[in-house]
């Protein structure tokens, strides 16, 4: 529905909004609405790439094409985190896609990892009461839409290996995040 007299359409509450911002760790972008996060991308090379990281439609919802600062409180917290401040994100509301009880358990355990804490895929599987499911943990981590919020960078391989990281900068960014949290 249009707003009378302006010639412009009123924003639809069904549109997801994008916020793009620069950090010392590349460009990051938030996607969501009503203080519910649908996705986060980190470590992008530029603002345009960060904005285009989300496919339209996303979870069946269209994305507003104009970048806005729709959730400034979260953006500011993420900026502080990327600058090296200890910031917690357990309270951030997430719109999670359908998942199995095991996937939800892995997400819940990962969200509880403390700043600077690392855990192996196998240890995470054991905490979720599935000690032989380390590979399945890796699968859950690789499909994480919420890096930093669900801190998958804190999950590492057995024997000191990093495992994987699906952000654009890959293991380089994972290393930077772990080093940032060790300072």
Active-site positions read: 152
Query: Other C-beta atoms within 10 Å of 117: how many?
Result: 10
Cα–Cα separations (whole angstroms), residue 4 to 7, 13, 17, 66: 7, 18, 24, 22
Contact in structure between 25 and 177 (CB atoms under 8 Å): yes
End-to-end CA distance of the chain: 52
User: Nearest 5 degrees, angle CA 103-CA 108-CA 112?
Assistant: 145
Q: Kindly state the tokens that stand for 171.
A: 């293991």
Say how many C-beta atoms besides its own lie within 10 A of residue 122's C-beta: 16
């Amino acid at each position: 529905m249009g707003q009378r007299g302006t010639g412009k359409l009123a924003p639809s509450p069904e549109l997801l909004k994008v916020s793009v911002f620069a950090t010392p760790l590349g460009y990051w972008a938030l996607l969501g609405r009503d203080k519910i996060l649908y996705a986060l991308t980190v470590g992008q090379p530029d603002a345009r790439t960060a904005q285009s990281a989300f496919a339209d439609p996303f979870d069946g919802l269209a994305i507003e094409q104009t970048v806005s600062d729709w959730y400034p409180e979260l953006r500011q917290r993420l900026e502080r985190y990327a600058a090296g401040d200890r910031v917690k994100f357990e309270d951030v509301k997430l719109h999670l896609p359908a998942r199995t009880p095991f996937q939800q358990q892995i997400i819940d355990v990962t969200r509880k990892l403390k700043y600077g804490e690392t855990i192996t895929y196998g240890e995470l599987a054991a905490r979720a009461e599935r000690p032989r499911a380390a590979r399945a943990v890796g699968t859950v981590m690789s499909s994480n839409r919420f890096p930093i919020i669900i801190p998958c960078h804190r999950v590492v391989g057995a024997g000191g290996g990093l495992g994987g990281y699906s952000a654009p900068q890959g293991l380089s960014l994972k290393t930077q995040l772990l080093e940032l949290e060790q300072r």
